[in-house]
Amino acid sequence: MRALVAVLLGNLAYFAVMPKLPASAQHVPFRLDLGLLLDCGLCTVVFVLVSLAWRRRDR
């Protein structure tokens, strides 16, 4: 569940700012590029934040 939330929120955030990024940082579908790396990194950061929040909530 945490991974799903992280991917959805991370992709939502990335695609919201993607038009403002330089062309080299925009993801092109079906290619390995800097945009995909940024998207993956953003989803990872969101996953860590969601995990910390859910852990704090469970205490």
pLDDT-derived band at 30, boundaries 50, 70, 90: very high
DSSP 21: S
Could you give the percent of the chain with pLDDT greater than 70? 100
Report CA dihedral (34, 39, 43, 44) to the nearest 10 degrees. 0
Instruction: Kindly state the average pLDDT of the residues 5-9.
Output: 96
Note the pTM of the prediction, 2 decimals: 0.85
Cβ atoms 38, 25 nearer than 8 A: yes
